[in-house]
């Protein structure tokens, strides 16, 4: 069962990202299988184009409309989305649970900050270096991670996040003698004069978010993506069909670390600070990435973005909601988290998909069967047929074959 | 030598604390398969309740032992309720990460609600153990001492371990608990009310946590406690539980002691790690797990395709 | 038992998994002391039928055991009534020892013959006796199947539900297993409902057979008839 089943060392993976077993049960129903998405008829296509255009316009115009403070918050949501996507690749699609991605984030942040403050680099130039460095660190962590299973991995990564600020504070010295770096405004290359700092920051974050998300989308749909999911769901079986387990797992680790590292770099631009003095900051960040991923929808493409925005929104608003009883803010935040996960176990994207499926089924009755497959980013690449056995009593049994035919 | 012994004793005193919380963590894990990040805060809340019951100035003024017992009973019920209302519905959606989120939500919620209800000032609980120290030996200088409270805690911890072991391994109820932890659906097919067993697991762990919290808070080495009581302890407790393999109760306790002692010795003797002593328990976990992936005491299970 | 000697009856059972309905009106009956076999292709609804009986899924229609309706009961309640279900995948408690697994089977019994039964099953399956302290997850598939059977029997059920017991087992082992089942039925009068893809062996020990197709009973008859009827064999049973 669950994350657990791990006293035995089994590979841990959320059951998310696999098609709901309802879709897997075939023609026993005596009709065409229900499709997840509404069929691509003309009205749907038009609706999608309209929504897409409207969204793009809104996103591009936003920084000119909002005050700098809001833009800062939006930029934060963007880089958190990037980090959450990185975590999503590792945990959602590949099944390796990490609650320490804050550490990679920190590595990226400090790399950028140090290069700028101590060596006078321009910000944009630091990003590739930060990415490369975090990638290497990710790989270094990924190798021992091969030997450590599910829940232990979670704990070890937790350790990383707790450790990072201590290590940083020991080896990094900023202007106050503490590990606090504040790159001055002039150290950022401002390529476009008419833009204010906050707007420029927003656009840089936006560009990176879009690029990295599209990259992730392509990855997930391709061979690597299928390998990742195969390793998550049935590691041993995947190995027997030739998937390079170590390569996939370490590679995914490194890649997800890169995402977090880039997010860290961006955070330096947005917040003008790399903070090594707060002992639980990177732990909190790790949790935030995890939360963003889960409430948005793990193993989906849009999930991390949706989750990140919701997270930032929640945080701001719980702070505003309670005057005088600020101490309650974490409680409300915590309650909101629990509520979301209660009501939408597959995250928001997952929940929306279910809703559409229900609506779609009503209109699919008369529509042509065999409508085209999932339009837009697919939920998850074709996973090996999930054993509906997962939902029943056989899930932890490994002594026999569990290929289920009803 | 003197210093060494003192540090070891210090380490043991801390280690007993880590071991107690680790025990609760492993118990929940072994009976329900959940990693409960809120364990520390649940214990914190219970500790505040104990304080309220025992305090003569602000509360009911009950004898400490009675306060602890009542608080444990309350925790028992609360643990069962939390499992039924918050954990089970989310777990039934079969996503382990969602359960993690819920426990994190609890972590945040309990901590802040506790501080809201009970205030943010540090409070005191008097120790249920006799005051004073026990001399271990003297080597020319001052004697090395260990406080009676620490000895008391060790004994309590040992008693908990033995009782739990007896329950799990030698009773029908224990068999049911273990069966449900292993394969809840199959257990139901054999007539075991899985739901009740899950609630029982959480209830017991919550009670143990309450006991641990109260004993820690009342420790003579501390000047009282406040909302931050459990936060570092939890990390160390997780380290201890992981070290012990997460499926061995005794392992959790022993590992707690190991972590405590190692931590104390490192602080004392290794300057290079000054300020980052927490590296040690974490590095220890990493090394142990890489060498022995199921923890020191964990059982290895052969996996068949 | 109902008036006509049926220990178990299903009437118009419909159900499935959420939006996907698998059973579309299943009617079957198992006489006390008989072995009933349910056959059919993958996806026909065999496992779902068993789950409907043991309460693992919600269904419409009626499930009647020993004259009482048990439709909608929870799995625990169904077990207490005297039905033992050995699921596909065997439901082994992998972290528990073999002996503990067997004891779980008897966990709701209050009589004092549990230890005697335990020994008896060790005699029937000596390989299990050799491994009684071993972790159940580490024994072979065939032994886990034996373990599952023994564990179910430790509850001294009146009705045994078996879901594809031959899955993953070598033919010789399957033969042995069915031989055991046959003996249990003959000597202890155990009523068995077995769902199988391996029609040949199952029909050999069975009394009555059903063929399930797309959620409905397509054909039924005595096991001997089904076994010998060529049309049925080629159309449904593949041998």
Q: Does A365 touch chain C (CB under 8 A)?
A: no
pTM of the model: 0.77
- Cβ contacts of B299 on chain A, cutoff 8 Å: 7
Contacts of B2-7 with C-beta under 8 Å, sequence gap 24+, read B2/B139, B2/B141, B2/B142, B2/B144, B3/B268, B4/B265, B5/B136, B5/B144, B6/B144, B7/B261, B7/B264, B7/B265, B7/B267, B7/B268
Would you say residue A16 has pLDDT above 80? no
Chains in touch with B (≥3 Cβ pairs < 8 A): A, C
What kind and span of H or E run contains C191? strand C191-196
> Chain B window 109-138: which residues touch A at a Cβ cutoff of 8 Å?
109, 111-113, 115-116, 120
Residues 6+ apart with CB under 8 A from A178: A169, A276, A277
B152 vs C173, residue with greater confidence: B152
Q: Does C93 touch chain B (CB under 8 A)?
A: yes
CB B120 within 8 A of CB B226: yes
pLDDT digits (tens, 9 = 90+) for B218-269: 887 777 888 888 887 887 888 788 777 777 788 888 888 988 888 887 777 7
For chain A, give the mean pLDDT.
Answer: 73
Residue A5 falls inside a structural domain: no
Q: Does C197 touch chain A (CB under 8 A)?
A: yes
Residues 6+ apart with CB under 8 A from C119: none
Whether residues A14 and B107 touch (CB distance < 8 A) is answered with: no
Whether residues A152 and B295 touch (CB distance < 8 A) is answered with: yes
Scanning the structure block, which residue is given the tokens 């503490």? A178
Whether residues A392 and C51 touch (CB distance < 8 A) is answered with: yes
Scanning the structure block, which residue is given the tokens 């656009």? A203
Whether residues B191 and C92 touch (CB distance < 8 A) is answered with: no
What is the distance between the alpha carbons of residues B35 and B300, in angstroms, rounded to a whole number?
A: 20
- Cβ contacts of A99 on chain B, cutoff 8 Å: 100
Q: Does C108 touch chain B (CB under 8 A)?
A: yes
Q: Determine the pLDDT at residue A368.
A: 43
pLDDT digits (tens, 9 = 90+) for B85-138: 988 888 776 677 788 888 888 888 888 888 888 888 888 888 888 888 877 766
Whether residues A5 and B33 touch (CB distance < 8 A) is answered with: yes
Residue A369 falls inside a structural domain: yes
3-state percent helix, strand, coil for chain B, nearest multiple of 5 = 70, 5, 25
Preferred mutation among C19, C49, C78, C139 to probe A, highest tally of A CBs within 10 A: C19
Cα A20 → chain centroid? 21
Residue A26 falls inside a structural domain: no
Residues 6+ apart with CB under 8 A from B188: A393, B194, C74, C75, C76, C79
Q: Determine the pLDDT at residue B271.
A: 62
Q: Does C158 touch chain B (CB under 8 A)?
A: no
Would you say residue C233 has pLDDT above 80? no
CB B219 within 8 A of CB B127: yes
Residue A138 falls inside a structural domain: yes
Would you say residue A197 has pLDDT above 80? no
What is the distance between the alpha carbons of residues B289 and A144, in angstroms, rounded to a whole number?
A: 9
Cα C201 → chain centroid? 15
Residue A399 falls inside a structural domain: no
- Which among C43, C45, C88 is the nearest to A389, CB-wise? C88
Nearest-CA distance C62 → chain B (Å)? 20
- Cβ contacts of A361 on chain C, cutoff 8 Å: 19
Q: Determine the pLDDT at residue A11.
A: 34
In this structure, what DSSP letter does residue B244 have? T
Helix intervals (H) in A297-373: 303-321, 329-343, 347-364
CB C34 within 8 A of CB C190: no
- Residue A230 confidence class, pLDDT cut points 50, 70, 90: confident
Q: How many CB atoms lie within 10 A of CB B95?
A: 25
Tell me if residue C26 falls in helix, strand or coil: strand
- Cβ contacts of B298 on chain A, cutoff 8 Å: 7
Nearest-CA distance B24 → chain A (Å)? 16
Backbone angles phi, psi at B146, to 5 degrees: -130, 135
Scanning every residue of chain C, which has its alpha carbon at the shortest distance from the alpha carbon of B172?
C107
Whether residues B276 and A170 touch (CB distance < 8 A) is answered with: yes
Nearest-CA distance A271 → chain B (Å)? 25
What mean pLDDT do residues A231-240 have? 82
Whether residues A28 and C20 touch (CB distance < 8 A) is answered with: yes
Residue A152: name the closest of A288, A284, A6 by CA. A6
Please give the CATH architecture assigned to the domain spanning C1-82+195-239: 3-Layer(aba) Sandwich (3.40)
- Which among B193, B247, B303 is the nearest to C76, CB-wise? B193
What mean pLDDT do residues A267-286 have? 81
Would you say residue B13 has pLDDT above 80? yes
pLDDT digits (tens, 9 = 90+) for A109-163: 988 888 887 787 777 788 899 999 999 999 988 888 887 777 778 877 877 887 7
pLDDT digits (tens, 9 = 90+) for C181-228: 888 888 888 899 999 887 888 888 888 999 888 888 888 888 888 888
Whether residues B302 and C137 touch (CB distance < 8 A) is answered with: yes
Q: Determine the pLDDT at residue C105.
A: 92
Preferred mutation among C25, C39, C88, C213 to probe A, highest tally of A CBs within 10 A: C88
Preferred mutation among A6, A32, A396, A406 to probe C, highest tally of C CBs within 10 A: A406
Whether residues A335 and B109 touch (CB distance < 8 A) is answered with: yes
- Which among C76, C93, C95 is the nearest to B191, CB-wise? C76
Residues 6+ apart with CB under 8 A from A161: A99, A100, A101, A102, A103, A282, A283, A285, A286
pLDDT digits (tens, 9 = 90+) for C73-116: 999 999 999 999 998 888 899 889 999 999 999 998 888 889 99
Nearest-CA distance C118 → chain A (Å)? 22
What is the distance between the alpha carbons of residues B191 and C54, in angstroms, rounded to a whole number?
A: 11
Q: Determine the pLDDT at residue B22.
A: 92
Side-by-side strand order, sheet with C59-65: C20-31, C6-17, C59-65, C68-69
- Cβ contacts of A32 on chain C, cutoff 8 Å: none
3-state percent helix, strand, coil for chain C, nearest multiple of 5 = 40, 30, 30
Is residue B161 left, alpha or beta, with left meaning phi > 0 and alpha meaning psi from -120 to 50?
Answer: alpha
Share of chain C above pLDDT 70, in %: 97
Scanning the structure block, which residue is given the tokens 């033919």? C171
What is the distance between the alpha carbons of residues A311 and A317, in angstroms, rounded to a whole number?
A: 10
Residue B176: name the closest of B190, B155, B162, B159 by CA. B190
- Residue B272 confidence class, pLDDT cut points 50, 70, 90: low
Would you say residue A22 has pLDDT above 70? no
B76 vs B11, residue with greater confidence: B76
Q: Determine the pLDDT at residue C176.
A: 82
Domain that holds residue A96: 39-383
> Chain B window 54-113: which residues touch A at a Cβ cutoff of 8 Å?
86, 89-91, 93-102, 104-109, 111-113
Is residue C49 left, alpha or beta, with left meaning phi > 0 and alpha meaning psi from -120 to 50?
Answer: alpha
Q: Determine the pLDDT at residue B29.
A: 86
- Which among C17, C45, C141 is the nearest to A401, CB-wise? C141
Q: Domain tally for chain A?
A: 1
CB A205 within 8 A of CB A197: no
Residue A176 falls inside a structural domain: yes
What is the distance between the alpha carbons of residues B184 and C90, in angstroms, rounded to a whole number?
A: 13
Report the sign of the C-alpha dihedral through residues C58, C62, C66, C70, in that order: positive
Scanning every residue of chain C, which has its alpha carbon at the shortest distance from the alpha carbon of B302?
C138
What mean pLDDT do residues A245-256 have? 91
Residue A23 falls inside a structural domain: no
pLDDT digits (tens, 9 = 90+) for A211-221: 999 999 999 98
pLDDT digits (tens, 9 = 90+) for B144-192: 778 888 888 889 988 998 999 899 999 999 999 999 988 888 999 999 9
Rounded CA Rg of chain A: 22
Residue B40: name the closest of B236, B179, B278 by CA. B236
Q: Does A397 touch chain C (CB under 8 A)?
A: yes
Least confident range of A234-248, B205-219, C211-225: A234-248
Whether residues C96 and B182 touch (CB distance < 8 A) is answered with: yes
Residues 6+ apart with CB under 8 A from C3: none
Whether residues C94 and A397 touch (CB distance < 8 A) is answered with: yes
> Chain B window 270-299: which residues touch A at a Cβ cutoff of 8 Å?
275-276, 278-279, 281-282, 285-286, 289-290, 293-295, 298-299
Nearest-CA distance B142 → chain A (Å)? 35
Q: Does C103 touch chain B (CB under 8 A)?
A: yes
C18 vs A223, residue with greater confidence: A223
């Amino acid at each position: 069962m669950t994350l657990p089943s791990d006293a035995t060392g089994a590979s841990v993976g959320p059951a998310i990202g696999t098609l709901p077993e309802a879709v897997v049960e075939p023609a026993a129903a005596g009709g065409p299988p229900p499709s997840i998405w509404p069929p691509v008829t003309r009205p749907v296509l038009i609706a999608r184009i309209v929504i897409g255009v409207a969204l793009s316009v809104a996103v591009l115009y936003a920084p000119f409309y909002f005050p700098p403070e809001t833009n800062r918050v939006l930029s934060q949501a963007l880089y958190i989305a990037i980090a959450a996507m990185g975590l999503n690749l590792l945990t959602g699609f590949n099944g390796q649970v990490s609650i320490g991605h804050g550490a990679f984030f920190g590595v990226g942040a400090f790399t950028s900050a140090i290069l700028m403050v101590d060596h006078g680099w321009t910000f944009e130039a630091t990003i590739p270096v930060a990415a490369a460095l975090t990638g290497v660190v990710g790989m270094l962590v990924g190798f021992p991670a091969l030997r450590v299973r599910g829940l232990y991995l979670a704990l070890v990564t937790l350790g990383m996040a707790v450790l990072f600020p201590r290590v940083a504070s020991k080896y990094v010295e900023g202007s106050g003698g503490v590990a606090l770096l504040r790159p001055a405004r002039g150290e950022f290359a401002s390529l476009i004069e008419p833009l204010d700092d906050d707007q420029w920051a927003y656009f840089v974050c936006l560009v990176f978010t879009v690029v990295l998300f599209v990259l992730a989308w392509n990855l997930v749909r391709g061979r690597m993506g299928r390998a990742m999911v195969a390793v998550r769901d049935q590691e041993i079986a995947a190995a027997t069909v030739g998937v390079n387990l170590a390569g996939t797992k370490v590679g995914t680790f490194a890649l997800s670390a890169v995402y977090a590292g880039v997010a860290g770099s961006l955070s330096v631009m947005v917040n003008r600070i790399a903070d090594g003095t707060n002992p639980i900051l990177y732990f909190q960040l790790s949790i935030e990435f995890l939360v963003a991923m889960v409430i948005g929808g793990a193993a989906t493409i849009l999930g991390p973005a949706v989750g990140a925005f919701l997270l930032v929104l929640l945080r701001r608003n719980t702070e505003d909601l309670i005057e005088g009883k600020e101490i309650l803010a974490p409680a409300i935040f915590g309650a909101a988290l629990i509520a979301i996960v209660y009501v939408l176990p597959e995250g928001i994207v997952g929940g929306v998909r279910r809703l559409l499926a229900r609506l779609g089924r009503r209109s699919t009755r008369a529509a042509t069967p065999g409508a085209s497959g999932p339009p837009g980013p697919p939920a998850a690449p074709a996973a090996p047929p999930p054993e509906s056995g997962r939902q029943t009593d056989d899930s932890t049994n490994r002594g026999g074959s569990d290929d289920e035919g009803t | 030598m003197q210093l060494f012994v003192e540090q070891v004793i210090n380490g043991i005193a801390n280690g007993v604390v880590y071991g107690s919380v680790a025990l609760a963590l492993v118990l929940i894990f072994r009976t329900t398969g959940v990693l409960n990040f809120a364990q520390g805060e649940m214990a914190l809340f219970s500790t505040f309740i104990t304080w309220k019951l025992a305090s003569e100035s602000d509360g009911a003024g009950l004898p400490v032992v009675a306060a602890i017992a009542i608080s444990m009973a309350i925790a028992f019920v609360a643990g069962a309720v939390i499992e039924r209302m918050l954990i089970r519905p989310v777990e039934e959606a079969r996503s382990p990460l969602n359960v993690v989120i819920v426990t994190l939500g609890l972590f945040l919620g309990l901590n802040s609600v506790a501080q809201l209800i009970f205030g943010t000032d540090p409070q005191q609980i008097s120790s249920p153990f006799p005051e004073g120290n026990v001399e271990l030996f003297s080597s020319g200088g001052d004697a090395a001492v260990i406080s009676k409270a620490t000895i008391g805690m060790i004994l309590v911890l040992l008693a908990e371990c033995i009782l739990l072991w007896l329950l799990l391994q030698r009773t029908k109820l224990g068999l049911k608990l273990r069966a449900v932890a292993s394969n809840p659906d199959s257990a139901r097919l054999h007539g075991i009310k899985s739901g009740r067993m899950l609630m029982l697991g959480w209830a017991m762990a919550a009670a143990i946590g309450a006991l641990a919290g109260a004993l820690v808070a009342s420790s003579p080495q501390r000047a009282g406690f406040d909302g931050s009581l459990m936060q570092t302890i939890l990390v160390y407790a997780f380290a201890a539980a992981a070290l012990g393999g997460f499926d061995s109760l005794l392992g959790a306790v022993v590992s707690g002691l190991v972590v405590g002692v190692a931590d104390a010795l490192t602080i004392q003797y290794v300057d290079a790690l000054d300020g980052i002593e927490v590296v040690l328990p974490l590095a220890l976990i990493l090394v142990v797990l890489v060498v022995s992936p199921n923890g020191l005491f964990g059982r290895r299970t052969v996996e068949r395709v | 038992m109902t008036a006509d000697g049926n220990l178990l009856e299903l009437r118009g059972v419909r159900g499935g998994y959420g939006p996907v309905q698998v059973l579309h009106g299943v009617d079957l009956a198992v006489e006390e002391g008989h072995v009933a076999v349910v056959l059919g292709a993958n996806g026909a609804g065999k496992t779902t039928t068993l789950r409907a009986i043991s309460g693992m899924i919600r269904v419409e229609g009626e499930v009647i055991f020993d004259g009482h309706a048990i439709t909608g009961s929870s799995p625990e309640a169904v077990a207490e009534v005297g039905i033992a279900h050995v699921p596909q995948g065997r439901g082994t408690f992998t972290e528990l020892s073999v002996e503990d697994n067997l004891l779980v089977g008897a966990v709701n019994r209050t009589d004092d013959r549990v230890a005697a039964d335990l020994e008896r099953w060790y005699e029937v399956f000596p390989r299990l006796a050799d491994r009684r302290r071993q972790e159940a997850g580490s024994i072979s598939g065939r032994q886990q199947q034996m373990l599952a059977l023994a564990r179910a029997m430790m509850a001294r059920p009146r009705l045994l539900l078996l879901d594809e017991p031959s899955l993953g087992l070598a033919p010789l082992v399957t033969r042995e297993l069915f031989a055991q089942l046959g003996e249990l039925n003959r000597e202890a009068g155990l009523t068995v409902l077995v769902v199988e893809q391996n029609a040949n062996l199952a029909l050999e020990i069975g009394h009555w057979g059903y063929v399930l197709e797309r959620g409905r009973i397509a054909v039924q008859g005595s096991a001997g008839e089904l076994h010998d009827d060529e049309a049925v064999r080629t159309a449904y049973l593949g041998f």
